[in-house]
Amino acid sequence: MGNRKQLVEDVVHGIFLILGIITVGFVLLISVYLLIAGVPAIGKIGVIDFLFGTTWAPTGEVPSYGILPFILTSIYGTAGAILLGVPVGFFTSVYLAKIAPTKVKAMVENAVSLLAGIPSVVYGLVGMLVLVPLVRNAFHLPDGASLFAAIIVLAVMVLPSIIKVSLTALEAVPKDYEDASLALGATPVETYFKVSVPAAKSGIAAAVVLGVGRAIGEAMAVIMVSGNVANMPGLFESVRFLTTAVCSEMSYAVDGSLHQQALFSVALVLFLFVMLINAALNFFLKREKK
């Protein structure tokens, strides 16, 4: 009887182990498949031509596969979104963590959760019908679909992540720090910004990382407001991101063609970008902790 019990125990242990390993398996699966699908085209096109070429014209008479426009657009777009979103999110989270009355805080927190839950196509729809004409009229442009419009949309989309994570970090600052600062004569506001915030630095940095990840990976909302032409990025130019490049051409790239393989390579570059950013920022965070 003891043996049977042990057997059941072992089997169950095995099952759970397998389930755990499957998670690792999925990551390997994704990485391996992307590599298999994405590397051949880079090989055929040449790493330098691919990553640094400035013309993307896969269906032209002389096809060219330079993705520098996409890389730069994704970088500028993400940077812009962070530049706009982080300050707004940061100040909102300090307000929520330290000053807001309980009822207000609960209400705003709910509002932020809601913002986080809205599907990206809805953002895209509103962006397309409200933001794009607004940009066109406000800046006297011939057409509002641009990098600028995309940056605004992305900034709004990363706001909830930044607020939520910064909030958690700020709330975790030990009260003693703040009490000590107040005892030394600092006003509450000064305490928050000169003591609490630095103490919550790593959490806030984590919030920014999250925001970067969300911004660089967004496709649907952006494709509806950015114009979709493979130009080198300009603030009011029609642009294409790494994400939207894959999205818009995948459905008609001829199966097995260099065009399709190049799209896989774009996805691979995107994937590597995200990994790189995560690794770099995590590295800096760990250094900070020490």
For the bound state, the minimum distance from the C-beta of residue 184 to another protein, rounded and expressed in Å, comes to: 14
Q: Which CB sits closer to another protein, 48 or 142?
A: 142
For the bound state, the minimum distance from the C-beta of residue 145 to another protein, rounded and expressed in Å, comes to: 6
For the bound state, the minimum distance from the C-beta of residue 103 to another protein, rounded and expressed in Å, comes to: 14
For the bound state, the minimum distance from the C-beta of residue 88 to another protein, rounded and expressed in Å, comes to: 5
Which spans in 57-142 are helix H? 68-94, 102-117, 120-126, 132-138
Q: Which CB sits closer to another protein, 76 or 236?
A: 236
Inter-residue contact 266 to 67 (CB < 8 Å): yes
Contacts of 198 (CB under 8 A, 6+ apart): none
Residue with tokens 């990840």: 213
Q: Which CB sits closer to another protein, 102 or 187?
A: 187
Closest CA to 35 of 275, 218, 271: 271
| 55 phi/psi in degrees, rounded to 5 | -115, 130
Q: Which CB sits closer to another protein, 180 or 275?
A: 275
Tokens of 112: 């932020």
For the bound state, the minimum distance from the C-beta of residue 139 to another protein, rounded and expressed in Å, comes to: 13
Please count the other Cβ atoms lying within 10 Å of the Cβ belonging to residue 245.
Answer: 27
Q: Which CB sits closer to another protein, 175 or 185?
A: 185
